[in-house]
Amino acid sequence: MTEPLLHPDRLFPAEPSVRAIARNLYETIAELPIVSPHGHTDPQWFAENGAFADAASLFLIPDHYVLRMLRSQNIAYDALAVPRKDGAPVADARSAWRTFCTNWPLFAGTPSELWINHSLSREFGIDAPLSAQTADATFDLIGARLADADLRPLAILDRANVEMIATTEFALDPLDHHATIKAKGLGARIRTTYRPDDVTDPEAADFAANLETLAEITGEDVSTWSGMIKAHATRRAHFRAHGATATDHGVPTALTADLGPAERQALLDGALKGVLSAAEAEQFRAQMLTEMAGLSAEDGMVMQIHAGSRRATDPMLQAERGRNLGDDIPQRTDFVGGLSALLSRYGNAENFRLIAFTLDESTYARELAPMAGYWPALMVGPPWWFHDSSNGIRRYLDAMHETAGFANMAGFNDDTRALLSIAARHDVWRREVAGFLAKMVAEHKIGQATARDRARWLSYDAAKTAYRIP
């Protein structure tokens, strides 16, 4: 007998009595609307609402989770149809899909297997595992379905019951797609997020030129520290006009600083000349985080910090193809010391909210949970990236809840570049929340009513509250 791709009790506790409680809890949250307040879906999808090209373009080429696993087995990105900077030919979509399906056993037990199986079953009615034997048939079936109106981007949001989704754009993005989205009357549902890394990180490519562009579009003098901060304030207002309620900051560490005027200006002068040392560049980023917190305290935009990823670790991949293709690696992160300067200035500010994300799981129980359990401004984001998994969710909930309480968790955000995985990721989160709370009920730590309340909070209400979504 063939096993279904999606078992109805997947991820629930194995012990029968606890599993029964989990099932009941899950039923109360399974159909709640999805709030996706942070992610990397392409706003062009929603502005144009065009059909996706094929299975490889949908599941394989944009998914760095999948790419990195295949790369680890020495499968070339050329064979996966990932574009090259030099424009040299790569495999066609069907051939890439065959390679992916042939190597599908690599993903056994991984989050990618859960997410992709969910999409294959729910969206395409595919209930047989991917394999070399099924590659062509699934490629053709998916391709035929992608022509249907109910698999256009906006229809996918409807089918998944996505109430709100936020994309993430750099500070210099013209927001043309979001302007189209707004003109279509969808601005409250599809929002942007202000991510200024291109003009806050002096080690970013073309940093000085980026600042010049920021000056041109805001009319501010970015050669002075105060003028640069005014430029950010102006740009943030433009993003808010396109629905943004949050900012996002991707940084290698959580270091913040509170430097004097002369020190700040000296860092800016060096950054514009391109002569900062690595330590000085870190100080520049640290000061900019504190400055962004100050702006958030003024304009009410929720501040997100995603810290602890060492980006672009493979020089060959960067030279051939570019960023966000699987070679980013977690590293240790200090939040207590790192956020000290920022929280000392703004941790008690009434209008300030900071959501911290980490790739260093050791910090949850040791640092972030106690910090969120004290500082009014601080909430902790859900398991991120490498830890957005069934076991990662369990570890997060276990490490956080006793010290921070559920109220200081920011709910769930899927942080995905793959549109179809949104429903799958939220389903994994909700199943793990149900299982975790069910165990607490079975151990008589909380009652059934409290479990139902906290399940709804973690699955829906927390994200709206944390991100100030009306």
Q: Containing domain of residue 100, as a range?
A: 52-151
Residue 2 confidence (pLDDT): 67
Regarding whether 434 and 345 lie in a shared domain, the answer is yes
Mean pLDDT of 377-381: 98
Regarding whether 378 and 267 lie in a shared domain, the answer is yes
Would residue 20 count as lying in a domain?
yes
Domain end, chosen from 151, 183, 210, is at 151
Q: Residue 97: is its pLDDT beyond 70?
A: yes
Would residue 246 count as lying in a domain?
yes
Residue 411 confidence (pLDDT): 98
- Give 406-449 pLDDT, tens digit per residue: 999 999 999 998 999 999 999 999 999 999 999 999 999 999 99
Would residue 304 count as lying in a domain?
yes
Would residue 9 count as lying in a domain?
no
Residue 88 confidence (pLDDT): 96
Share of the chain above pLDDT 70, in %: 100
Q: Residue 160: is its pLDDT beyond 80?
A: yes
pTM metric for this prediction: 0.96
**Distant-in-sequence contacts of 85-89, Cβ < 8 A, 24+ apart:** 85/319, 85/320, 85/321, 85/322, 86/320
The 3 state secondary structure assigned to the chain is CCCCCCCCCCCCCCCHHHHHHHHHHHHHHCCCCEEECCCCCCHHHHHHCCCCCCHHHHHHCCCHHHHHHHHHCCCCHHHHCCCCCCCCCCCCHHHHHHHHHHCHHHHCCCHHHHHHHHHHHHHHCCCCCCCCCCHHHHHHHHHHHCCCHHHCHHHHHHHCCEEEEECCEECCCCCHHHHHHHHCCCCCCEECCEECHHHHCCCCCCHHHHHHHHHHHHCCCCCCHHHHHHHHHHHHHHHHHCCCCEEEEEECCCCCCCCCHHHHHHHHHHHHHCCCCHHHHHHHHHHHHHHHHHHHHHHCCEEEEEECEECCCCHHHHHHCCCCCCCCEECCCCCCCCCHHHHHHHCCCCCCCEEEEECCCCHHHHHHHHHHCCCCCEEECCCCHHHCCHHHHHHHHHHHHHHHCHHHECCCCCCCCCCCHHHHHHHHHHHHHHHHHHHHHHCCCCCHHHHHHHHHHHHHHHHHHHCCCC
Q: Residue 3: is its pLDDT beyond 80?
A: no
Regarding whether 217 and 130 lie in a shared domain, the answer is no
Average pLDDT, the chain: 97
Regarding whether 99 and 229 lie in a shared domain, the answer is no
Regarding whether 137 and 35 lie in a shared domain, the answer is no
Going 445 to 26 to 449 to 357, the CA torsion angle's sign is positive
Range from 15-19, 320-324, 399-403 carrying the lowest mean pLDDT: 320-324
Would residue 3 count as lying in a domain?
no
Would residue 287 count as lying in a domain?
yes
Domain end, chosen from 110, 133, 151, is at 151
Regarding whether 222 and 287 lie in a shared domain, the answer is yes
CATH number of the domain that residue 123 is part of: 1.10.2020.10
Would residue 30 count as lying in a domain?
yes
Domain end, chosen from 151, 171, 196, is at 151
Regarding whether 165 and 146 lie in a shared domain, the answer is no
Q: Residue 1: is its pLDDT beyond 60?
A: no
- Give 188-247 pLDDT, tens digit per residue: 999 999 999 999 999 999 999 999 999 999 999 999 999 999 999 999 999 999 999 999
Regarding whether 88 and 39 lie in a shared domain, the answer is no
- Give 36-66 pLDDT, tens digit per residue: 999 999 999 999 999 999 999 999 998 999 9
Share of the chain above pLDDT 90, in %: 98
The count of domains in the chain is: 2
Regarding whether 44 and 65 lie in a shared domain, the answer is no
Would residue 115 count as lying in a domain?
yes
Regarding whether 29 and 79 lie in a shared domain, the answer is no
Calculated CA dihedral for residues 292, 360, 420, 112, nearest 10 degrees: 160
CATH number of the domain that residue 28 is part of: 3.20.20.140
Regarding whether 43 and 65 lie in a shared domain, the answer is no
Regarding whether 277 and 179 lie in a shared domain, the answer is yes
